[in-house]
Every structure is written in C-alpha cells, then in structure tokens.
Amino acid sequence: MKLTWYGHSAFRLDYAGAVILVDPFITNPTFKGDVQAAYRGATHVILTHGHSDHIGSTVEICKETGALLVANPEVCGYLGQRGVANASPINHGGELHFGGFSVGYVPAWHSSAADDGTYLGNPGGVVFMANGEKTVLAMGDTGIFDGMKLIGEIYQPKVGLVPIGDRFTMGARLAALACTRFFDFETVVPCHYATFGLLDPNADKFIAAMKGAKAKVVVPERGEALQL
C-alpha cells in the first residue's frame, strides 16, 4: 500500500487494483504539484464530510475518471446534483466491501455543511481495510471524544491520519492524547494544518507532544508517496 499526502486532509491510497482519493482538496494552497496527475487512475473518492475543504475536486475527479463516490447520503445527494453520477452512500456503523479493500464509516465530532449552508449530514471518519495491509484510520475533522476508544478496539488501526491544526479540529495536545490514549498506532501522519492562517503553521507542536509515544510520527512532503 502506498500513501500520498497532498496537503490539508487530501490523501491518496494505492492498493492493488484500487486508487482511492480521500477528501481531495488537492487545489489547496500548499500543494504545488500537478493536480490531474495526483488523481490520475482514481477508482474511488471517499469523503469524511461535506465542508468544501474536504469535497475539494471531487466533482472534477469523478467526472474525469469515473471514480465511485463513497460518502454519507446527504453528501452523495448534494454532489449528485452537481454531476457525480456514480455514488455509494454509507453512514455511521456501516461497512462497504469493494473486493480488494473495505471501508468502515465511524463517528467524528465536528460539523458538516456546504458553503451555501446546505446541511450535509453528520461528519465521520473512515477506516480502510485490505488483506495483507495495515488498517488505516482517516479521522476526518474531529475533536477528541471517548468513542475513539471503541473505534480503536473494533478496528485496531495501525496507521492514523490525524488532524492537528487546532481551532476547527484537535490541536497538537489533544491530538497526541487521542493517539496515545485510544489507539495503538504504529504510524501517525498529521494533517489539516498549515493550509490557512487560522491553523497551526507546522507539525512541530504535535511532534513534541508525541515524544516518547510508541507511534512514529511521519510528516511526508506533499505529493511524496510512502510505502506502508
């Protein structure tokens, strides 16, 4: 499995036979690479919630590649009205199986609406599972909450994609507490920082807060593929 971060909360997961874009705000100010190359070959787009900095280029990607959209029903309906023809809705507690990989939709503590105020359902996180691969939890935008313990017990994710930018999600202190109290991660990739002036400008505080933890904090360059 390869994992690529494009800045903010935009990730690409490459499995055998599947290319997954997660919250593909690839046009965010911190990614300077080729946007079309970033999503080339996409088979699935998976969204944690409906804020525009997570929907990102979803419509373009789905139209250009024919990728299947996976999101909650409200987001699927909203984007269906904007040209996304191929969608598979999911909601909290649900799992979907796509042959080479499966996803589970788990709670997140946040909000979800379009820029025009349209309510877009409850936000979530996404668990990615595939035979022979480490289980990945993309937390989405979230504050810390004690239900994370149950997510950790059920899915036992080894890789965490964790928001750390503060103000709208957990900051460094609470993100580190969530990672060490509720999960048994081997690798943590911080996200949702540095994109805008209201967010923490780097991952330094989170790295410091994770000092001595079992999990290794990995801060990849934007557009750099990691082998996990």
- The secondary element (H helix, E strand) that includes residue 120 is none
For residue 24, the SS3 value is: coil
**pLDDT of amino acid 30:** 98
Cα separation, 20 vs 17, in Å, equals 10
pLDDT on residue 26: 98
Residue 114 inside a domain? The answer is yes
Tell me the helix, strand and coil percentages in the chain, rounded to 5: 20, 25, 50
Please check whether residue 179 lies inside any domain of the structure: yes
Neighbours of 34 (CB within 10 A): 11
Residue 98 pLDDT? 97
The tally of domains found in the chain comes to 1
Residue 64 confidence (pLDDT):
98
- Whether 228 is in a domain gets the answer no
Query: Is 146 domain-assigned?
Result: yes
pTM, entire model? 0.98
- Cβ neighbors of 120 (< 8 A, separation 6 or more) are 49, 50, 72, 74, 75, 78, 112, 113, 114
pLDDT in tens, 42-57: 999 999 999 999 999 9
**Quick check: 67 and 61 in contact, CB under 8 A?**
yes
The pLDDT value recorded for residue 54 is 98
User: What is the span of the domain harbouring residue 111?
Assistant: 2-220
Q: Is residue 90 part of a domain?
A: yes
Residue 195 lies in a domain: yes
Name the stretches of the chain with pLDDT < 70: none
User: Does a structural domain hold residue 227?
Assistant: no
The pLDDT assigned to 195 comes to 98
Q: Is residue 226 part of a domain?
A: no
Contact assessment for residue 226 and residue 2, using Cβ atoms and an 8 Å cutoff: yes
The domain that contains 122 carries what CATH number?
A: 3.60.15.10
